[in-house]
Structure 1
């Protein structure tokens, strides 16, 4: 049986149901119940069983009490040849003893007052569960009826008589013990009101139909702890649980909830019940290696104390401890100064406290010389443990070991000792006991107030107030609702749980070296949609007497401008911070991903904001723009200088021989070619886009037409000197102007159609992977643009072919050789232009077109006019008719 229930804390639903069936069968065997039999026939003494120590008092209504007055049981070696000796409970717990005295105080207060239950006295029957499930189960069996040995008069009855089933039980404290007791008492529908069992599993009314509590469920405490962790941004938290239903259940729920919210559990360890040092040492080592700065200890105070003792031994410091409710205000941890070094700054939730008037005086009334001291099996071990002396009295049912203790003088006074028993400054669990007693009494009052014919039971029957049935009392306890003298609304929800309200306490050292529990906030589940957790951060003192919130993360917080990149095979909280790529931003910490900017925006250097992209075009202020303007103006100037030289020397043979009118028209067109390159500079507009391409196309056609006609004139002039030829009349000045105009008019028509049908327009080129908005002129119609270039190329190629054919004509009539060189340069430039234009990005495509215009213009200017200027200016002796005619005659010969 003991083994089964020790395993029950981690059993599933089917195991619990099986346990209920087994317990039901067990109870039917041990306590066969028959409503037609009298009470003396309803209980029998179990062969071989031994009576448990009990503190009881007579009354009209007897309430059961179950308290873990000792922290552990020393189980003797079983020889299996004789009856086992009684189990010895050790490590007396003063805090739990105060809880028991609070139950007695509340019962006596109700009896004195007499208003809630007039003409009725309450009694009690209290057992020690010794913090073990099987001991608690033994006591639970006593509550449903047992035979009692003889004892002291006034407190016992004659041997062979039976105690009846108590109508209600208050206790136990530990969740593991309550699981066992609730499952057993639930079979008999005996209401159980626990004051300290918080395991959420006990809220299952299918499994524990008779269980209620004045202690909030761990679900609420875990909710508070999770919100606390999230409030301070801790994403790398360790969890250490006690090896019981309370610790394991609460720690598992906490771990699951923080993971749902994106945090991670750095370690999840369990403190064994035997508290083996090797296991505790291993836990401390894992805490140190995990690098978690915040550790939640979800365990009872005894297990927590064992862990902290080991942490002290191994000098584990710098940890911000989070306390579960079980030890958040435990004096056994706060009183010893050895723990102050590691527990200062600890934080946890504690249930609501209250000051119970006259309780301290009641607690200090105890003395072994009191009339009923011998009837109290718990007073003697309490007294001896309190004053570390021996009374030399055998406690009922207990081993009495006084080895090494001096005898008590009898003059000891509880008022002279300050410890957790007499400390009533933090009455939380004691207040829960107090509320549990009053909840049952209010239920009893409601039972007695039932109006006949208007009852809650079948046929509207009322309960028999003189024969209280536990199942009837359970009905009324579930519906209890009243406002107590402390201003708290006492009631139970459908799961038998009270409203969850916690105080957030911070362990702070006072100047006198004592630890103080300072309330720094609260958690109120009843606030509904309002903020449940409220914290006063300015009064918090963190571990190590620090005022700065400790940082507990696996990886540092990713600042704005970066994103989290999860590390393979690591928890989600372990990540690297990766800078957002260009064009993406993150404007918050710990961004999961970067956000891409809109097409017209780009990320700033810090990758925290999208800013408008830089607009790029061939501006006058840029280096390329300045260069283009300078080259264009120089070219125009040089062309004007050449025109001026030709004008000053227009009567010379070299100018006349090369058709001065065509030369001046060519120089004029070259000037326009140089100047049209300026239209490609500056922010593109509708007018500039239309002007730059049409001006370029028309001026170049005019220029090439002049060169072409000069070549034709050279050829025709040579042919006209041959006998029988009379073709020169078709190539006079009028015909030249007409042909040049006609050739240019073709380009004008192409450009006009282009501008009408699909004109060039400004366009923004926004590339996703570029921080620039490129402003350029869209050709509008690629066919028209190709026709413009193609027509220029056609004229240039024709001119090149004719010039090549005329390259060997006499020098005095011949400039075909110069035109050949100029056309070779022209064609080479524009053939190279096409791939360069296509592959040049942004403004460089425009610059490529401009440099092609300037290069071809300089080629024409230099090849055609530079040699003539050289002769005019530097070799005037060659610029004579005689020289030219003599050279012509020589060439003819």
Structure 2
């Protein structure tokens, strides 16, 4: 409450500085501000130099009432920067009149009015400009031709629209320098006389979006003018920013007039300040006109100056974190009660400005300005008094409240917030608009001279121009101005040009400069209209790089966005990427899977190539397995050699020498076939490894089965009259081995014909490796081969188990039972282990199973016999064998 009262007192105190202006509440302005200079042909201008600010106040508190009693409801203020618009217009007229190459025999005159940013005054001044001859008769020609061929104005869409309502009726060319986004003014059918000395405003939409995308500003605020143009801007831009992943944090509407009506308005100002400055939105888009800027400045700066020093420092620090992005109509201008406004709170602002260029002669023209209080310039007195805080001598109403204006004051001594010495974008547009009309007149006169004999025409009649006659020439106008820029209109009556992107650089003396840091060009390919030179941008003094404008912190690589329920899509949490996925950019919507042959690193922010994985001979584990395979194969060869050496001894004969040799050779090959599983897979090894292993192992198991069956048959044949006598012999053993092995051979042959194994790359089983493996082709046939071998092993184990107590030479059935128990245990544990491993580990499991099962057969069956043959040769005789069989039978 106290803060609001203090702000109101400051505004009302500063209002005293405009007491030389008339109060428009009870006694409206009777004589509008104007500047008239006669000429053979006139060009009119409607300016927006003067405006109103409402300040009706009503308090209920008795101790404050006496301080806030006013008769006026509106206060007139001068937007002093816009006085340059008038001077640019006058400068162009004088320059053309002095140029012998343009309209050499014609003197241009002008008539300038101010419309006070008011609809009624807009209509009044337009009609007055067309029909006023001392007495106002609208739409009547009283015998005196007021030869106005074109009118330039206005600054905003409302003024342009008011002017077009009247001028379109008479088809008088109107050239606006309005840079707002009023699309209805582009309707050439409804406003055929309307031209714009600015590019298509829709180009700014593209520029704003590309600027936000360029700096990755995702959470932005909007401050718009409360009117049709502002709503149109919002309706067009919001969907565009949304499609580019940008959200609007807040939207504030600046009123058409600055109100200081009640305490509620003061509280609204404070709430607006809080909403703007405390928002996480660092980038704030400001659209509208100068009134919008003044409203923003009033809401931000004034509370900062009125509250406590500590709070002021806090708020100033808060404003330093903001980046103001303004549209082409925004001008950093102040009014009377803001003369000491600290422009530095807008330091680093980025603006889309109407393209302008340096006119050196115009700067000299401004430096030479020495006002005369008695000439036709109805603006200079109020302007001079306000910007130099002096009083023009008035013999009719002398006062001594201020110093007297000498007229020797210099415009270049004023800060840029009050008046700029460099030509602004609006002034540049006005300058070009005057030249466009002049060149059109010049072209029309040349056309007339070419088709009409001048001597047959009265010179005055020759110079008579109907405004509507100018349109065909104005529509096709094309010329280069004094700065070298080409001026021409497109088919919609808009200037064919782009926009400048400027950076506001401020100074402690309340002045500033605007540095061009980029451009917006419609002639470039779509998506590349905006060019920004970041190295030229000067950000807030405490920042060395562009600030962030996000609803929350960025999601860094390795994380993805996770939407918050009930929040806008720009507000989200960050979730780590799931296993096997990664994100390599900030703020990714979802994590992605790496391309084939790559996998995420530990922090999941990049993909790295997978390494090829196979059981190489250089691996330590491979060396161990090779050593084991060679060792057991050599051991098998030694055992075979021992059995061959002692082939005629009873222990060798008693166990069927042929089957023993077949079994030992099979085991020898089993140990060696494990080497096929080591090394990089290739077509040959893939075809051979499983098939050779299956056939050789089946032969070994078949031999063991044959030995077991021979034991059973021999025992049963020992009984008199038994039918099994005829089966005893080598024929039965060979039949068993050949028949059992043949079935496995048929399965392997079918496997190779239908779907043989082949080298393959497994990209997905392991996260960091590409497994080089042998694809088994037909998995069903592969398991048929293993299943058949397991079936033989189980049959062999069952028969051996049942025959373990039968009389046998050296009790071979017991040895076979134990060996098949080891064999079956190894392969039963192999299956789940094999299926649960990947890559080279799977190969290792299979090799180990081959070696372990083969070693089990070799050790359990042949180690006891080798022990007798080598260590206990005395047991290797027929008597010992017969005695043992008798003992077994008696038991």
- Separation of aligned partners in 1, 2:714 and 2:432: 130
Query: Is the Cα contact below 8 Å between 2:385 and 2:392 reproduced in 1?
Result: yes
- Separation of aligned partners in 2, 1:331 and 1:178: 23
- Separation of aligned partners in 1, 2:281 and 2:86: 39
Query: Which runs of structure 2 are paired with 1:456-471 in the superposition (5 Å)?
Result: 465=462, 468-471=465-468
Q: Residue deviations 1:494-548, cap 9 Å, x none?
A: 3322233444332335698853333334444466889654444333211226442
Q: Residue deviations 1:181-232, cap 9 Å, x none?
A: 2223222323222345544432222333322233444334444444443443
Query: Is the Cα contact below 8 Å between 2:51 and 2:116 reproduced in 1?
Result: yes
1:274 to 238, 249, 258: 258
Q: What is the match of residue 342 of structure 2?
A: 339
- Separation of aligned partners in 1, 2:766 and 2:76: 78
Paired residue total: 814
Task: Give 1:342 deviation, angstroms.
Answer: 1.9
Query: Which runs of structure 2 are paired with 1:440-589 in the superposition (5 Å)?
Result: 440-451=437-448, 465=462, 468-509=465-506, 514-525=511-522, 532-544=529-541, 546-554=543-551, 567-575=564-572
Query: Is the Cα contact below 8 Å between 1:698 and 1:747 reproduced in 2?
Result: no
- Separation of aligned partners in 2, 1:882 and 1:442: 139
Is 1:761 matched with 2:757? yes
Query: Is the Cα contact below 8 Å between 2:285 and 2:325 reproduced in 1?
Result: yes
Secondary structure, aligned partner of 1:678: helix
Deviates more, 1:191-200 or 1:638-647: 638-647
Task: Give 1:258 deviation, angstroms.
Answer: 3.6
Task: Summarize the Cα distance change of 1:661–1:207 in structure 2 as closer, same or farther, 3 Å threshold.
Answer: closer
1:127 to 96, 113, 117: 113
1:173 to 155, 173, 181: 155
Q: Residue deviations 1:477-508, cap 9 Å, x none?
A: 43443333343333333332223344433233
Gaps of 5+ in 2: 1-27, 58-70, 137-141, 260-264, 305-314, 453-458
Task: Give 1:271 deviation, angstroms.
Answer: 1.8
Q: What is the match of residue 284 of structure 1?
A: 273
Task: Give 1:452 deviation, angstroms.
Answer: 8.4
Q: Residue deviations 1:415-442, cap 9 Å, x none?
A: 3882267753335433333333333333
2:131 to 145, 161, 178: 145
Task: Give 1:240 deviation, angstroms.
Answer: 1.5
Q: What is the match of residue 16 of structure 2?
A: none
Q: What is the match of residue 329 of structure 2?
A: 326
Q: Residue deviations 1:655-693, cap 9 Å, x none?
A: 554455654554443333333333333333333334333
Secondary structure, aligned partner of 1:299: coil
1:94 to 71, 74, 80: 80
TM-score normalised to structure 2 length: 0.77
Task: Give 1:236 deviation, angstroms.
Answer: 3.2
Q: What is the match of residue 234 of structure 1?
A: 217
Query: Is the Cα contact below 8 Å between 1:54 and 1:377 reproduced in 2?
Result: yes
- Separation of aligned partners in 1, 2:625 and 2:558: 40
Secondary structure, aligned partner of 1:126: strand
Task: Summarize the Cα distance change of 1:822–1:242 in structure 2 as closer, same or farther, 3 Å threshold.
Answer: same
Q: What is the match of residue 164 of structure 2?
A: 182
- Separation of aligned partners in 1, 2:709 and 2:777: 36
- Separation of aligned partners in 2, 1:467 and 1:816: 135
Task: Summarize the Cα distance change of 1:868–1:54 in structure 2 as closer, same or farther, 3 Å threshold.
Answer: closer
Q: Which has the higher contact order (CA 8 A, sep 6+)?
A: 2
Q: What is the match of residue 71 of structure 1?
A: 51
Q: Residue deviations 1:605-663, cap 9 Å, x none?
A: 56566655444444445566455445544544554565576678777765554455654
Query: Which runs of structure 2 are paired with 1:589-604 in the superposition (5 Å)?
Result: 596-597=593-594, 599-603=596-600
Q: Residue deviations 1:751-785, cap 9 Å, x none?
A: 78458735843331535464444444455566765
Query: Which runs of structure 2 are paired with 1:386-425 in the superposition (5 Å)?
Result: 386-391=387-392, 393=394, 406=401, 409=404, 411-415=406-410, 418-419=413-414, 423-425=420-422
Is 1:696 matched with 2:682? no
- Separation of aligned partners in 2, 1:881 and 1:726: 26
Task: Summarize the Cα distance change of 1:362–1:584 in structure 2 as closer, same or farther, 3 Å threshold.
Answer: closer
Task: Summarize the Cα distance change of 1:178–1:356 in structure 2 as closer, same or farther, 3 Å threshold.
Answer: farther
Task: Give 1:110 deviation, angstroms.
Answer: 4.6
Secondary structure, aligned partner of 1:66: strand
- Separation of aligned partners in 1, 2:787 and 2:93: 113
- Separation of aligned partners in 2, 1:791 and 1:529: 70
Deviates more, 1:710-719 or 1:360-369: 360-369
Query: Is the Cα contact below 8 Å between 1:51 and 1:149 reproduced in 2?
Result: no
Secondary structure, aligned partner of 1:125: strand
Task: Summarize the Cα distance change of 1:286–1:829 in structure 2 as closer, same or farther, 3 Å threshold.
Answer: same
Deviates more, 1:744-753 or 1:673-682: 744-753
Q: What is the match of residue 213 of structure 1?
A: 196
- Separation of aligned partners in 2, 1:223 and 1:726: 103
- Separation of aligned partners in 2, 1:783 and 1:249: 70
Secondary structure, aligned partner of 2:413: coil
Query: Which runs of structure 2 are paired with 1:421-436 in the superposition (5 Å)?
Result: 423-436=420-433
Query: Is the Cα contact below 8 Å between 2:710 and 2:733 reproduced in 1?
Result: no
Task: Give 1:352 deviation, angstroms.
Answer: 0.5
TM-score normalised to structure 1 length: 0.76
Task: Summarize the Cα distance change of 1:595–1:713 in structure 2 as closer, same or farther, 3 Å threshold.
Answer: closer
Query: Is the Cα contact below 8 Å between 1:98 and 1:363 reproduced in 2?
Result: no
- Separation of aligned partners in 1, 2:644 and 2:786: 32
Task: Summarize the Cα distance change of 1:394–1:770 in structure 2 as closer, same or farther, 3 Å threshold.
Answer: farther
Task: Give 1:881 deviation, angstroms.
Answer: 5.6
- Separation of aligned partners in 2, 1:122 and 1:300: 31
Q: What is the match of residue 685 of structure 1?
A: 682
Is 1:307 matched with 2:296? yes
- Separation of aligned partners in 1, 2:856 and 2:506: 93
- Separation of aligned partners in 1, 2:166 and 2:505: 43
- Separation of aligned partners in 2, 1:505 and 1:144: 38
Query: Is the Cα contact below 8 Å between 1:73 and 1:132 reproduced in 2?
Result: no
- Separation of aligned partners in 2, 1:74 and 1:831: 96
- Separation of aligned partners in 2, 1:447 and 1:90: 42
- Separation of aligned partners in 2, 1:758 and 1:697: 17
Q: What is the match of residue 37 of structure 1?
A: none
- Separation of aligned partners in 1, 2:371 and 2:757: 106
Q: What is the match of residue 357 of structure 1?
A: 361
Task: Summarize the Cα distance change of 1:512–1:750 in structure 2 as closer, same or farther, 3 Å threshold.
Answer: same
- Separation of aligned partners in 1, 2:231 and 2:728: 112
Task: Summarize the Cα distance change of 1:245–1:408 in structure 2 as closer, same or farther, 3 Å threshold.
Answer: farther
- Separation of aligned partners in 1, 2:664 and 2:463: 132
Task: Give 1:348 deviation, angstroms.
Answer: 1.8
Secondary structure, aligned partner of 1:451: helix
Q: Residue deviations 1:806-842, cap 9 Å, x none?
A: 4443355743333334345445555665666566545
- Separation of aligned partners in 2, 1:112 and 1:887: 143
